[in-house]
Structure 1
Amino acid sequence: MEVLSHLRVLEIGSSAAASYCARLFSDFGANVRKVECPAGDPIRRSAPLTPHGQSGWFAFLNLNKSSVILDATDPNAVAQLTALIEDCDVLVDGRDIDSADCPAIDIAAIRQRCPGLIYVEASWFGREGPYARFAATDSTIRALAGLIKLAGPAEGPPFHAPDFQCGILAGLWGFIAAASSAVAGMRGPGRGRSWSLSIFESSLALSEYQMFEAYQRGDVMRRIGINRFWPNFPVGIYETKKGWLGITTITPAQWRAFCDMLSLSELRDDPAMVLGADRLQYMEQIERQFIPRLKTRTAQEWFLEGLKRKIPIVPVPEISDLLVDAQMKGRGAIVPVLLDQEKGLTVGSMQRLTSTPPRRGGKVPRLGEQQTISSRRRHLSDTKSTSSGRIDAGEPPLRGIRVIDFSMGWAGPLCTRTLADLGADVIKIEAIQYPDWWRGVDRRPAYIKDRMYEKTARFCMANRNKRGITLDLTRQQGLTLAKRLAAGADVVVDNYSADVLPKLGLGYDVLRKLNPRLVMMSMSAFGTNSVRRNCRAYGSTLEQGSGLPSVTGKADGPPVMSHIAFGDAVGGLNGCAAVLVALIHARSTGQGQFIDLAQIECMMPFAAPWITVHSIDRTPPVRYGNRHPQFVPHGCFRCAGEDNWIVIAATDASMWQRLAALIGRYDWAIDTSLSSAEQRRGIEDVIESSIESWTLTRDPDQAMSDLQLAKVAAGVARLPIDLLNDPHLRSRGYLQEVERAFIGLHPQPSMPIREGEAPFAIRTPAPTLGQHNNEILSGFLGLSSAEIAHLAREGVIGTEMVSEAELAKAKYAASDQQFNSIAPKRDPSGADRPLGA
């Protein structure tokens, strides 16, 4: 039986966020019913379209659901809808985005009668705050979220990727809310949970890293060109002899290897170009030297060469390349789909659970088609529970879940941070020899002496609400303790390369023997069985290899990246969703499993509409730049002042008329020949010119205010630093002030999902290095003070980062000892016995 087959999910209203949330349930067998008006969900008409007029976007969002027609004019409509809701376990409500003629109902009254109901309500900005009633689109949300202004040519306008991003991000967050509620419900009978989901705040998962870099470093980020991003260079997409190549060079070692690969010894040895931030000052000079050399070989040839040298580079695929990728099909990243009479391919589930895998493809429901209604009814409270008692209404949903966190950087820590925010006890494992690289990779004496590794805002952002210990996993004592921690845990997470933990002796084959109920997730870049499993990758690499850049930008331009490190946050949220599904299964059956999550696959939903349509019509996808296949006008327009921009979209005829009147073109407002977007497309240049003449005379916030008063979708293109003082976020308490050693009071972002008016509180700041060694080793594992002191003397644990010189000395001593020792000598004191035994 599929892992979520006991759940019934109902989706109402028209919202990509709600649809994707519900799609994630259907991937694992939930019975998902979608309520539509007689005209159908408006998303059914969203471009791109197949030859028979089927929407690729709708197909991806609604795989394996049923469609239920409900006519709001029917006198029995409210009663019918109420009956559907009372018959479900999870209600996903997108009516605040677009009611799609769904009847008004009293949700509070229904929840009184059905206290176990899990309810997720999506809105653009949340119920309260200055933006609460703003008209919005995917692109205006991304503009306000700081995701547009830094991409594109330096002179402007900023480039932004096509729609479909916000719905996926918010849908993931909605699923996390609902699935965590389902986990909580398995502790015993109790109340359901009611969640509000802000699509705007959901999108900040992508920009929070740059927001907090700006908090620490100041206003240093600017748009510096197509496929160029602060603070590293080169990070971008470049032309080769055949195909495009995604390149990311972060560390000095990667830069040296990149220069060696291209025989650029002069650049390699220049002390002014060691760090990525330094190289930004010489971008043109550096590109003049390496771009011609890249054109001497193909993207695939450079990829293979980079693989040998451990450089994060990857061929940038066209949509057609993804469709013939045997590995993508083999892993279920590309799956078959039936759209009425058309057979095609679409993007499958990213949550690659190995024992209870997701569905591999399926059917898109025709309007009114009941295709998955089951005859069996089972409620959450009927499921086997590992504990008894009622759910405390004030408890976070994941109370009692213990997570061992081997992850570093952004993707893995975001996954485990979200689990911690929802109440899980997350124990983060680092080593004083190799701490989390988001503490910094600088090992020079001054950096160590000043404890700079305790002062990085990005580490604090990604690791709040966790407890932290240090263990040297290359030593037997550290390895033994890590195994004991895993033996008492519910979840283990890592985002190393696929072979790292298995080589250390911490692979799933080892840990499941110690703990059969353990859920273990590997979050490698390409998957444990991938031919690219040894390829180094960052979040930028994942976007470069996802197919999304091939549909972003202008038709005559290169593939365009939309956001540096995009893939990290997306991988982290998908990882959290996968863990929650596996926990539901483990709580029900007592059996854990391995999750083989490939972060590259987590990026593919953003290209899903084009993948679906291209699989059927084989026509190369159209690249619209900042324009839109359905909305005219749609673009990014310059405002008064230096580098000020606003995104504006007219999504229907009435919004177009209000926009035309606002900018003084009353003749356009009453001209019936311009009532449709296709009619306006013929004069799109003229329309855009008139809009920009109007915006150029206004401050961007004033322009947004005037447009929103006229109910025209508009959003100022913000920089990440602007979000620290955004009036809407401030009014909602999105940034919470937290006190921490070494840095003092600092802001922390809230989750975009809430169970009340206030966000989930940040309980504890990020741990200092080894902060909870004594607490966990003594309290959880039962070690004595003498044993803990011995571990500290041996360097197995500690609270201070090891310098480069100390690390080299330790490596030399270890190799020297290995050379001179025929067999390990036993400590007569018994100190090498299993600790805590």
Structure 2
Amino acid sequence: MKPLEGIRILDLTRVLSGPFATALLADLGAEIIKIEPPHGDEYRHIGPFRDGESALFTLTNRGKNSVVIDLKAPEGQSLAQQLASQCDVVVENFRPGVAKRLGLGADALRAQKPELVYCSISGFGQDSPEAQLPAFDIVAQAMSGWMDATGEEGGAPLKVGEALGDIAAGLYAVIAILAALIGQKRSGQGATLDVAMLDSLVAMLPTSHAIHMYSDTAIERVGNRHPLSTPFGAFRTKDGQAIIAVLGDRQFKSLCEVIGVPDAATDPRFSTDEIRTQNEPAVRAMIEDWTSLYPTSTVVEKLSEARVPTAPIMTLAEQLASDHAQARALVRDLPHHRLGKSPVVGQPIRFDGKAHLAENGAPSLGGETRAILQEAGLTEAQIAQLISAGVVKEADK
């Protein structure tokens, strides 16, 4: 039995932050009813595509039931309210205020069902002065401190190479929903949850927090090295670069022995982590005098033997082909209505040795409309009338 079997979630989200969250919940066994507009989630129309199917939509909507409802129509709003009353959780990521105007806000839905867990995901929160700003990931990264802390030393700010704001908000939404479900079980009461991309990113900067709030110094971009620990970063090898991540004097001593300068461990310039960071150029020069003599594979091998943390810099393709990825089954195939099978990377947590994954791939647009409405108590005549009126839609045959 999966941990969330028996939990029913109405998913009013689209694009990335919300669908990422509900895909993780689907992996854990929750039943996800994804409400889509007649044209579908915007991600259905964003490439890359395979056989007409969006890769991004396929990856982030596994294990869900697609029900097409026109929420602009009063009948569609009533239908969505009816479905919400039959669910344990509602998740939405509309711009603040939109769900309320549709009759699907937290107050309205929890008035009819107080035990409902209602989670709103947005760029800046429901009550921020910036609440109405467009919630693009790069905007949240720019405002959070992430871009200011990221980039080459002396260079310009850089965004992280993934939509980190969306992913962070999705992860915090999952944490919030699971905590609220535990509270619901204990008290019988639900909760109204407010998750902001910007807040989530700010919360994920502990090193920057330490520098800004405790050392009273400015945060500076340091490229691949660590702002507080040395040696820690990418070092030149004969054919590329190797990562070396030393934390503490014991590991530094081991590193010095491997690279043939054991006396450096007692050099006053390198006596503590803080002093080594102050003298980082000298530490780097000493290490690269050795690493530049060998290919990356040899550097990593020799340091690993001495239990000095190290790694090559791998592409995603190299990692997914690695022994680790194979042993951990990081990529698995799900059955898909058009592709036959769709490779996905599911939630990574193991429960008693098993990493749970949704049973099916992403749904066709409106693929479960009829089945979900029948389960909700609508008659065939009512469903036919709603389809005829364009309020709901089934998948194309």
Same fold, TM-score > 0.5, yes or no: yes
Other-structure match for 1:602: 200
Other-structure match for 2:390: 795
Other-structure match for 2:303: 707
Other-structure match for 1:426: 32
Tell whether the 8 Å contact from 1:732 to 1:758 is kept in structure 2 after alignment. no
1:576 has 2:186 as partner: no
How far is 1:608 from its partner?
4.2
**Are residues 622 and 763 of structure 1, via their aligned partners in 2, closer, same or farther at CA, if it must alter by over 3 Å?**
same
Other-structure match for 1:436: 41
Other-structure match for 1:773: 369
Identify which of 626, 651, 659 aligns with 2:255. 659
**Over residues 648-695 of structure 1, what are the superposed CA-to-partner deviations in whole Å (9 max), with x where a residue is unaligned?**
122122322322232333453576874433454565324323433544
- Residues 90-109 of structure 1 aligned to structure 2 (within 5 Å): none
Q: Distance in 1 between matches of 2:310 and 2:241?
A: 11
**Over residues 616-646 of structure 1, what are the superposed CA-to-partner deviations in whole Å (9 max), with x where a residue is unaligned?**
66443354443335432122123454xx432
How far is 1:745 from its partner?
2.4
How far is 1:791 from its partner?
2.7
Q: Distance in 2 between matches of 1:754 and 1:423?
A: 14
State the SS of the aligned residue for 1:481.
helix
Q: Distance in 2 between matches of 1:513 and 1:800?
A: 33
Tell whether the 8 Å contact from 1:546 to 1:607 is kept in structure 2 after alignment. no
Q: Distance in 2 between matches of 1:692 and 1:609?
A: 26
Q: Distance in 2 between matches of 1:580 and 1:591?
A: 14
Tell whether the 8 Å contact from 1:647 to 1:717 is kept in structure 2 after alignment. yes
Write the letter of the residue equivalent to 1:427: I
Q: Distance in 1 between matches of 2:293 and 2:14?
A: 47
- Residues 245-324 of structure 1 aligned to structure 2 (within 5 Å): none
Tell whether the 8 Å contact from 1:734 to 1:759 is kept in structure 2 after alignment. no
1:747 has 2:352 as partner: no
Other-structure match for 1:459: 57
Other-structure match for 1:621: 219
**Over residues 214-270 of structure 1, what are the superposed CA-to-partner deviations in whole Å (9 max), with x where a residue is unaligned?**
xxxxxxxxxxxxxxxxxxxxxxxxxxxxxxxxxxxxxxxxxxxxxxxxxxxxxxxxx
Q: Distance in 1 between matches of 2:324 and 2:299?
A: 17
Other-structure match for 1:566: 164
Q: Distance in 1 between matches of 2:27 and 2:292?
A: 43
Write the letter of the residue equivalent to 1:508: A
How far is 1:719 from its partner?
2.6
Other-structure match for 2:246: 650
State the SS of the aligned residue for 2:204.
helix
Q: Distance in 2 between matches of 1:682 and 1:608?
A: 21
**Are residues 401 and 800 of structure 1, via their aligned partners in 2, closer, same or farther at CA, if it must alter by over 3 Å?**
closer
Q: Distance in 1 between matches of 2:107 and 2:63?
A: 29
**Are residues 681 and 412 of structure 1, via their aligned partners in 2, closer, same or farther at CA, if it must alter by over 3 Å?**
closer
Other-structure match for 1:632: 230
Other-structure match for 1:406: 12
Other-structure match for 1:180: none
How far is 1:696 from its partner?
4.1
Residue segments in structure 2 that go unaligned for 5+ positions in a row: none
Identify which of 715, 721, 724 aligns with 2:320. 724
State the SS of the aligned residue for 2:144.
coil
Q: How many residues align?
A: 395
Q: Distance in 1 between matches of 2:392 and 2:269?
A: 74
Write the letter of the residue equivalent to 2:366: G
Write the letter of the residue equivalent to 2:41: D
Tell whether the 8 Å contact from 1:736 to 1:748 is kept in structure 2 after alignment. yes
How far is 1:525 from its partner?
0.6
Q: Distance in 1 between matches of 2:46 and 2:390?
A: 19
- Greater C-alpha radius of gyration: 1
Identify which of 104, 111, 135 aligns with 1:513. 111
Q: Distance in 1 between matches of 2:132 and 2:67?
A: 28
Q: Distance in 2 between matches of 1:538 and 1:632?
A: 35
**Over residues 4-23 of structure 1, what are the superposed CA-to-partner deviations in whole Å (9 max), with x where a residue is unaligned?**
xxxxxxxxxxxxxxxxxxxx
State the SS of the aligned residue for 2:35.
strand
**Over residues 184-211 of structure 1, what are the superposed CA-to-partner deviations in whole Å (9 max), with x where a residue is unaligned?**
xxxxxxxxxxxxxxxxxxxxxxxxxxxx
Tell whether the 8 Å contact from 1:635 to 1:647 is kept in structure 2 after alignment. yes
Write the letter of the residue equivalent to 1:709: E
Identify which of 748, 751, 756 aligns with 2:352. 756
Other-structure match for 1:551: 149
Compute the TM-score of the two structures, normalised by the length of structure 2.
0.89
Write the letter of the residue equivalent to 1:798: K
**Are residues 410 and 702 of structure 1, via their aligned partners in 2, closer, same or farther at CA, if it must alter by over 3 Å?**
farther
Tell whether the 8 Å contact from 2:224 to 2:233 is kept in structure 1 after alignment. yes
Q: Distance in 1 between matches of 2:275 and 2:217?
A: 24
**Over residues 691-712 of structure 1, what are the superposed CA-to-partner deviations in whole Å (9 max), with x where a residue is unaligned?**
3354445444443233212211
Q: Greater CA deviation, 631-640 or 762-771?
A: 631-640
Write the letter of the residue equivalent to 2:184: A
**Are residues 520 and 558 of structure 1, via their aligned partners in 2, closer, same or farther at CA, if it must alter by over 3 Å?**
same
State the SS of the aligned residue for 2:234.
strand
Q: Distance in 1 between matches of 2:300 and 2:359?
A: 36
CA RMSD of aligned residues (A): 2.7
How far is 1:586 from its partner?
2.0
How far is 1:537 from its partner?
1.8
How far is 1:467 from its partner?
1.6
Tell whether the 8 Å contact from 2:320 to 2:330 is kept in structure 1 after alignment. no
Q: Distance in 2 between matches of 1:693 and 1:743?
A: 52
Compute the TM-score of the two structures, normalised by the length of structure 1.
0.44
Write the letter of the residue equivalent to 1:793: S
Tell whether the 8 Å contact from 1:540 to 1:563 is kept in structure 2 after alignment. no
**Over residues 410-458 of structure 1, what are the superposed CA-to-partner deviations in whole Å (9 max), with x where a residue is unaligned?**
111121122222221111111222x11221258xxxx9xx972xx1222
How far is 1:578 from its partner?
1.1
State the SS of the aligned residue for 1:597.
strand
Identify which of 60, 65, 68 aligns with 1:470. 68
State the SS of the aligned residue for 1:520.
strand
Other-structure match for 1:344: none
Q: Distance in 2 between matches of 1:509 and 1:694?
A: 64
**Are residues 616 and 668 of structure 1, via their aligned partners in 2, closer, same or farther at CA, if it must alter by over 3 Å?**
closer
Write the letter of the residue equivalent to 2:123: A
How far is 1:545 from its partner?
1.0
Other-structure match for 1:41: none
Tell whether the 8 Å contact from 1:736 to 1:762 is kept in structure 2 after alignment. no
**Are residues 782 and 415 of structure 1, via their aligned partners in 2, closer, same or farther at CA, if it must alter by over 3 Å?**
same
How far is 1:494 from its partner?
0.7
How far is 1:715 from its partner?
2.3
Tell whether the 8 Å contact from 2:58 to 2:342 is kept in structure 1 after alignment. no
State the SS of the aligned residue for 1:572.
helix
**Over residues 789-832 of structure 1, what are the superposed CA-to-partner deviations in whole Å (9 max), with x where a residue is unaligned?**
3333333222458xxxxxxxxxxxxxxxxxxxxxxxxxxxxxxx
